[in-house]
Every structure is written in structure tokens, then in C-alpha cells.
Structure 1
């Protein structure tokens, strides 16, 4: 099975540093994951200098194959191939992953100015669409996610927004 870790266009050193630690990789391995792909963005971590030029850096730890890279123009293929996504709590990433029906652990970036990532993560966790975690609790959350009975995210319905827009603009 494959896990995909992403920080989007942000820098989230703490998350990237945590997911390459032996205990996190062991949690992933024990949960059946044998491959981890990490989109690290501009984060600073143990191997960041080897991905600085945009190349993929492969490491082998805890019986898990790990590849790390900075950016790609599109993450759709990564989402499709993943059995689990571990992500910062960015709204775009959350919606993309949940609409694909993937298991998702979000880790809000507490270094950001406001609390919007935390608030979004908690709201969606309360609706049972995903699991929210802190850096410190990530190994435990990984252990729990595969047995969790998550509620599928509702499909996109563009008519809802169009209806609100029509009412707001006075067309209806």
C-alpha cells in the first residue's frame, strides 16, 4: 500500500521531519504501507539539500520505500495512487483528497498566523470525514486510521453554489 504526504505550496518543516522518523515509518509499515511518497515543498529537514535541485531523493527506512520531492505541477496522480494521504490542513488539498474517497489524516500547521487550518480540520473530523492529528500524535493516528469507519464526503454539487449566486444576484 502507498501513503502520500503533502505540504502543498507551504513550508511545514515539523510535519516533514516527523514523517521521516523511524517510529512514524514503522507505524506506516505495521499498518501495511510499504511505500511513502513525500511532497516536501520548501521544508527544511534531514535530506532537504538532496532534493533542493528538484530531483527525487529515495531512502530506505523501516522496510518502507520513501521518495521525497519538492513540487509537481499537479498532484492528481499522487492522490489517485495513494491509499492514505497525510497532509497539512489546506482546504484545497482536503477537498481534492476527500472527493477521491481517500483516507486522510490532516495535521494543521500551527506556525501559520491564524487558526483556520485547525478549525477546518476539527469541523471535518467532527463530521467523521477524516482524522485530525498533531505532530506528537501522528503515529497513533496512523495506527487508528485504517480501522476507522469514516463517513464518505458528499460529491460536489455545483448547482448549490449556482442557486446561491442566482439568489444573491436577484435572478430568482
Structure 2
């Protein structure tokens, strides 16, 4: 499968390790030749900007922050993201394949728990910055499940039952 449009987001903080890794020739080759990328959009948050001038054959757009990234998610054939809960859910709701890269520089590395669970449930792939090239080479989107929104009716029935509000059958 080809991923002509790839969107990378690091959220509102900084994830310089990921941005620097993306600028490496090895990743460029994977994007272009293995994934078929023609358009790469990178949201760098509050992080440092890195040159992607050497990415010949791939149109690269870089921005720091904007009000909403939903349009970028919708346009993408593949999203590579930090493991922020809001971003993960937004991408999964749009039914886009997602590779989550753990930002292990954050306090308590809280993102790994969410990424590991969603990966274990086959909704996304997760990796480290160091292992991103290997993940790009080997991920298979046919292994992913469609994200299903929660069933609020089932939760209400459960809550009613626990609270003793459920109707009694005579």
C-alpha cells in the first residue's frame, strides 16, 4: 500500500528527537521509496525546526501550532504521532493508520501505557524514536482493527444496574 500523504504531529509540546529522526536520509528513503510518500506535513509544536531541504521528490510542509489539526489528519494516508490521548483518538476516529512514537523524555513516560494498550488492541502501531525506521519498514496495516466508538447505552445500563435503578422484571 502507498501512503502518498503522511502527517506527523508532536502535539503542543516539543519532541525534537522525533523531528531530528524524521530528517535523516534513512527515513527519507523509507518515506519515498518504501511508502510512496509525495507530501509530508510535519507539526513541530514548540520544538526546533529542522531542515528538510534534502527531501527531493517529497513536498514538505512544516508548521508549529494551529487551532486544529483535524484537516491534516483527514488528508493523510498515514499519521505518525506522539502518544497524546486526544491525538490518538482523533486519528482513530478518522480511521487513519497510525504509528505512535513514544516521547520517553516526558515526565513518568505516561504515554507508553496508552500506546501499549491501543497497540495490544490492534488499533495502532507503537515504536520508539530509535526503532522508527524498522517500524516503517515492517508495519502492516492489514493487522489493524477499525476503532469502534464506545457504546453509551451499554454503559448507562451498567450504571443503572450498579446503582439499583434497573427495572425489575416480575
Superposition TM-score tier, normalisation by shorter sequence = 0.7 to 0.9
Shift in alpha-carbon separation, 1:110–1:164, aligned structure 2, 3 A? farther
- State which of 61, 67, 71 in structure 2 corresponds to 1:73: 67
**Cα root mean square deviation, aligned:** 2.2
Matched, 1:99 2:93: yes
Shift in alpha-carbon separation, 1:35–1:159, aligned structure 2, 3 A? same
Shift in alpha-carbon separation, 1:158–1:72, aligned structure 2, 3 A? farther
Q: How many residues align?
A: 162
2-side partners of 1:73 and 1:150: how far apart?
29
Larger Rg: 2
Q: What is the CA distance between 1:28 and its match in structure 2?
A: 1.1
Structure 2 residue ranges without an equivalent (≥5)? none
Shift in alpha-carbon separation, 1:161–1:68, aligned structure 2, 3 A? farther
Q: What is the CA distance between 1:102 and its match in structure 2?
A: 0.5
- State which of 28, 34, 40 in structure 2 corresponds to 1:36: 40
Counterpart contact for 1:124–1:130, Cα < 8 Å: yes
TM score, norm. by length of structure 2:
0.84
1-side partners of 2:120 and 2:27: how far apart?
25
2-side partners of 1:11 and 1:153: how far apart?
27
1:75-129, Cα deviation, whole Å (9 max, x unpaired): 1111110010000001111111011111000011101111321111111111111
Q: What is the CA distance between 1:156 and its match in structure 2?
A: 3.9
- State which of 102, 111, 114 in structure 2 corresponds to 1:108: 102
* Secondary structure of residue in 2 paired with 1:44: coil
Matched with 2:133 is 139
Shift in alpha-carbon separation, 1:108–1:160, aligned structure 2, 3 A? farther
Matched, 1:118 2:116: no
* Secondary structure of residue in 2 paired with 1:38: strand
Matched with 2:10 is 7
